[in-house]
Structure 1
Amino acid sequence: MTKSMNSQLQLIDTATVQQLIEQEKIQLIDVREPSEYTAEHIPQAQLLPLSKFQPEQISLTQGKEIVIYCQSGNRSNQAAQKLVNSGFIEFRQLEGGITAWKQSGYPTKINKNAPISLMRQVQIVAGSLVFTGTILGAFVSPWFLILSGFVGAGLVFAGVSNTCAMAMLLAKLPYNQRT
C-alpha cells in the first residue's frame, strides 16, 4: 500500500461495522491490551495490542476492510498513526470504540473468568499503597508518608501525560497476558 498524502484518519460507525461483519467483509483489529480483550471484545476481532503494535503484523485478507478499535478511540488513534506512517491507507477506525459498540446494542464476547481491568488494578494497588503509607506514617514513622506522596505524584503524572507506569507494569503480569 502507498503512503497517504492526507493523514486524516477515517472513522466508521458501529452500524456500518455490524453490516460488514454480517457480510464477512471486515478484518477487525482490537488494539487494547490482552487482559481487556480477554474480558470482553467484539466477536471476530483479532488482538494486536498497542503496546506491541507493529503494522507489519497485519496480514491483509483480500476483499476485507481493516477496521481498528480500542475502548474509546484514543489508542486506536495511536495505532492508526503508526499504520499511516508505515504506508497503510486502506483502513478505518471504529468511531467511539467498543464503548460506542456496546451503547449501540451490538454483541460482545464476554469472559466472566477474565482478570479485572487494568484501571481497576491500578486503583486497587495505588489506593492500597496510599492507605498503607498513611497508616504507617501515622503509627510507625512519618517517613512512610513519602510512599503516599510518591504514589500521588505518580497519579498526577499519569493524568497529565496520559501514561501510567503502574498500568504498564501491571500489564506485564502473567495473568494480564492471557488471551
Structure 2
Amino acid sequence: MPLQTVTPAEARRIVAEGGRLVDIRSAGEFARTRVPGAENRPVGALAPLGGEGPVVFMCRSGMRTSAHADRLGACCSEGYLLIGGLEAWRKAGLPVEEDRRQPLEIMRQVQIAAGSMVVLGVLLGFALSPLWFGLSGLVGAGLAFAGASGWCGMAQLLALMPWNRRAAAGTRSPG
C-alpha cells in the first residue's frame, strides 16, 4: 500500500496521538539537526519497525523518503511521508534541535572542498601556470564520476577525517 503524505502539522498531530517520527537521514546528519523525539533509522540500515501505531518518515527535504517510499512502507503497518522533510518542519515553526558542534553533512563538506579546489585551480592557473587549470578539471571529472556511479571518493576521504569519525562514534540510533 502506498504511503500517504502529511504536512508538518499533520505529522505533529500523529506523533502527539502516539505515532512515531522516524528520521531516515545518516547518523551524522541527525546528530547535527533533528526534531526532538525523532528516532534515527538511516535508510541504508532500515529494517521492519516493531511496535504499534503509525510511523511518519522524514528526511531533510522529502526527496529521500519519496525515493524510498516502497521500502519504507514495508517497514510498518501504517506509515506516512512528511512532505518537505525537516526543512518544511522548520519553516512551519515547529521545534528543531541543533548541535553546531557536530560536523556539517558529508555532502556539504564535499561541496565546500570541491568548490574551493576549483576556485584555487582557476586562480593559480591565471597567477602561476596554466597547468593549475588541471586541478579544476580533475575535481570536475571526480564530481561527474560520483554523479554517474554513486560513489564519491572525496566523500569517502572526508568521512575518515577525525571530526567526522568522532561524530559518527558519538551518535547511536535506537534498536
TM-score range, shorter chain: 0.7 to 0.9
Q: 2:64 & 2:75 partners in 1: Cα distance?
A: 19
What value does the CA root-mean-square deviation take over the aligned residues?
Answer: 2.8
- Identify the residue that residue 165 of structure 2 maps to in structure 1: 174
- Identify the residue that residue 6 of structure 2 maps to in structure 1: 12
Q: 2:59 aligns with which of 59, 67, 70?
A: 70
Q: 2:154 & 2:62 partners in 1: Cα distance?
A: 18
Change (3 A) 1:106 1:37: same
Q: 2:111 & 2:84 partners in 1: Cα distance?
A: 24
Other structure's SS at 2:68 match: helix
In the superposition, the TM-score normalised over structure 2's length comes to 0.77
Given the alignment of the two structures, is residue 128 of structure 1 paired with residue 116 of structure 2, yes or no? yes
Given the alignment of the two structures, is residue 152 of structure 1 paired with residue 140 of structure 2, yes or no? yes
Given the alignment of the two structures, is residue 54 of structure 1 paired with residue 54 of structure 2, yes or no? no
In the superposition, the TM-score normalised over structure 1's length comes to 0.75
Change (3 A) 1:87 1:37: closer
Sequence identity (%): 33
Quote the offset at 1:176 in angstroms: 4.9
- Identify the residue that residue 112 of structure 1 maps to in structure 2: 100
Other structure's SS at 1:55 match: coil
Structure 2 stretches of 5 or more lacking a match? none
Structure 1 stretches of 5 or more lacking a match? none
Change (3 A) 1:112 1:12: same
Q: 1:42 & 1:87 partners in 2: Cα distance?
A: 21
- Identify the residue that residue 23 of structure 2 maps to in structure 1: 30
Change (3 A) 1:171 1:89: farther
Quote the offset at 1:157 in angstroms: 5.9
For 1:116-144, what per-residue CA distance to the aligned partner results, in whole angstroms no more than 9, with x for missing partners? 23343122211222233334444565433
Letter in 2 for 1:96: G
Q: 1:68 & 1:109 partners in 2: Cα distance?
A: 17
